[in-house]
Amino acid sequence: MAEIVYPPVIGVARMLFRVLDMKIHIEGSGHVPTTGGAVLVSNHVSYLDFIFAGLGARPSRRLVRFMAKKEVFDNKISGPLMRGMHHIPVDRTEGAGAYVAALRALKAGEVVGIFPEATISRSFTVKDIKNGAVRMAAATGTPMIPVALWGTQRLWTKDRKRALGQRHIPITILLGEPMHPKRGEDMEAHTVELRRRMSELVDKAQRGYAEIPEGVWWQPAHLGGSAPTPEEAEALDAADAAGRLAERD
């Protein structure tokens, strides 16, 4: 497919990384195959995670087609960019269409990116995850690669003002060893193992981060930060869901 939009968007992003003097550390990029389909499965702590998860595939010279909620495509600014980069819209009321589109992309040899937690984790730990990524990898015979992002929440996340102009922020991108689920195997068992590997990578990224101050909002509670605990975050997410339901009603 023609790539008119994606390359210049990457160019602008890389220029901004240099201007802001971001300290970006990428580890494990060699796990992304240079050809053929693959599923990148990332944790989700920031509205900008798709940029940095995609950056993890750049050493393999791959462009990642991310699955993102339909509302992003409806926006008059982000919509044309998302469509131009051939990302995959997800309508939460009709998820089957997005699943079929992702399968089609994988079979065509594309790399598909997915955030299986579905929403940003306020606790900055890995939430319960959906099994869609496992099912897609199994259905297409493609490898599934766990990804951990850390530091991106300091730029823009839930309940916090954007800090897109902040300089010198360290960003960590870790890619783990591929998993190879197959048709007929236990998809739930693979999903549990995927979450375990993602959590292990996130913990590694957090504990090896260049800055580990106590009490800051962007640090998880179990490492001395003031972020909500997983239980508190779950309650906040439930309140958000109830609010959206009330608005629809």
- Domain ranges in the chain are 6-248
**Average of per-residue pLDDT across 83-100:** 89
**Average of per-residue pLDDT across 198-214:** 96
Does domain 6-248 sit in CATH 2.60.40? no
pLDDT in tens, 166-195: 999 999 999 999 999 999 999 999 999 999
Instruction: Report the chain's terminal Cα–Cα distance, integer Å.
Output: 41
Contact 62, 32 (CB under 8 A): yes
- Please determine, for residue 122, whether its predicted confidence score (pLDDT) is greater than 80: yes
pLDDT in tens, 94-119: 778 999 999 999 999 999 999 999 89
- Beta carbons within 8 Å of 236's beta carbon, 6+ residues apart: 122, 159, 228
133, 134, 137, 138 alpha-carbon torsion, rounded to 10°: -150
**CA-wise closest residue to 223 among 124, 122, 119:** 124
- φ/ψ of 152, rounded to 5, equals -65, -25
- Half-sphere exposure of residue 137: CA atoms within 13 angstroms, side-chain side: 27
**CA-wise closest residue to 116 among 104, 139, 99:** 99
Assessment of whether the complete model's pTM goes beyond 0.85 = yes
